[in-house]
Chains A and B, each alone.
Chain A
Amino acid sequence: MKSFAQDLMFGVSRGKIKPPKQILLPSAVKTLTNNDELIQKLNRCVHGIAYSQLEEINTALCLQKMASTSEIPLADNIQPHVSTTLAWDNIDRLEETLSGEGTSHRVNGIAVQTRHFGPQLPPEPSTHIVKTKERSV
């Protein structure tokens, strides 16, 4: 029922109101498939925001993290004072270079928290990002 309601609100307001579904669905599709045509089709069917708008949100989130003062940029949905399991894994591409230097090494980390019921701490004030039409950093 909420899905219908979100579609109606998004459609009637002509995209001015962006319900969670209309942001999360194309975002998930982008993560899983990285197919912009699919996101465009979802947008035409009023199921999600446009691909360009999704890029604007991602760019704004990136700029916000870059502007934050904390040493390690963490996702906003990670709660403080809650037991957390961390898993890190390095991905070394190990390109064949003459000197052995200049190879690519990437490390991915995953933070897992148990769902915490009860009052939650207010989110830390984040850096204000001016809404622009930028779609890349």
Chain B
Amino acid sequence: MKKKDSRILAIASREIVAAEACYHRTCYKGYTRAEASPTIASDGCGESLEDEYTNLESEAYQMLFDYIRSDVLANEKIVRLTELTELLASYLTSLGVEEIKLSTKKHLRRNLQAEFGDGLLFENLLETASVFIVPANLSPLHVAKYITTILLEKQDNASQSSRSANIHQAAINIREAIQRTENKMSWPPRPSDLADSAMNVLKELDSFLQTLMTGKKEWPDEIQECRG
């Protein structure tokens, strides 16, 4: 419209949706691409900045495609689309691009579909906004292995968290028992207050220490004799 192209104006003057008009992807890209500025063209620098970005982008895409072929498809991995977006961004950064255009990330899915066709499935596995990329050649056996690994990891995490909860609860119980203890020492302290027999170890603390020191629920006989 800004270019006042008579062909486009003729189309745009009608109802676009009613006319079932759509842009061919590459044509639209070529049409809307900014023209080379006259200063750059005149000084003979060659490619414009836009073309340079396009070249780097296509190079980064090739790196991404190589990764998908060598890792995702070969190892039958399920990955998030956001992970691939981040990987593409890192490739672009490594190639020297400072600012990544929004369109690069936005068109990733379309480019992947154009490259791999039915080889990749884009599924919303968790019924959330995140999209997963599933290799079409994923075998049921591999899916079973994948699920089993995740379940085992979950179980490990659950047992780890329950262990932490037990330790936390034991510490809380001992702390509360100590804080409940009354200070019966007279002022100034008498010799009897400072005798060995005056020290009453709390039941909770005694149980904790005997397990900590010996690994057993009861004191071994030789230690029991020493404790009197």
- Which residues of chain B in 173-228 are interfacial with respect to chain A, using CB atoms and an 8 Å cutoff? 174-175, 178-179, 181, 183, 185, 187-196, 198-199, 201-202, 205-206, 209-210, 213, 223, 227
Residues of B within 8 A of A18 (CB): 183, 185, 189
Q: Which residues of A contact B (CB under 8 A)?
A: 1-2, 4-6, 8-9, 12-13, 16-21, 23-24, 57, 60-61, 64, 75-77, 123, 126, 129, 131
Residues of A within 8 A of B202 (CB): 5, 9
If over half of B's interface residues share one DSSP class (helix, strand or loop), that class is named, otherwise mixed; here it is helix
Supposing A13-B178, A20-B198, A24-B194 touch, asked if A60 and B183 sit within 8 A by C-beta, the answer is no
- Inter-chain contact A76/B190, CB cutoff 8 Å: yes
* Listed residue (B174, B189, B192, B223) with the most chain A CB atoms within 10 angstroms of its CB: B189
- Which residues of chain B in 55-92 are interfacial with respect to chain A, using CB atoms and an 8 Å cutoff? none
Bound CA span A13–B196, Å: 20
- Inter-chain contact B209/A5, CB cutoff 8 Å: yes
Closest Cβ neighbor of A6 among chain B residues: B199
Number of CB contacts from chain A to chain B under 8 A = 65
Q: Chain B: interface residue count, which band?
A: 20 to 34
Closest Cβ neighbor of B171 among chain A residues: A12
- Inter-chain contact A2/B175, CB cutoff 8 Å: no
Q: What 10 pairs across the A-B complex have the smallest Cβ distances?
A: A60-B188, A77-B191, A20-B194, A5-B201, A12-B178, A61-B188, A131-B187, A76-B191, A17-B183, A5-B205
Supposing A20-B195, A20-B196 touch, asked if A123 and B190 sit within 8 A by C-beta, the answer is yes
- Minimum distance in angstroms from B160 CB to a CB of chain A: 26
Bound CA span A17–B209, Å: 19
- Inter-chain contact B178/A129, CB cutoff 8 Å: no
Supposing A24-B194, A60-B188 touch, asked if A9 and B179 sit within 8 A by C-beta, the answer is no
Closest Cβ neighbor of A24 among chain B residues: B194
Residues of A within 8 A of B198 (CB): 20
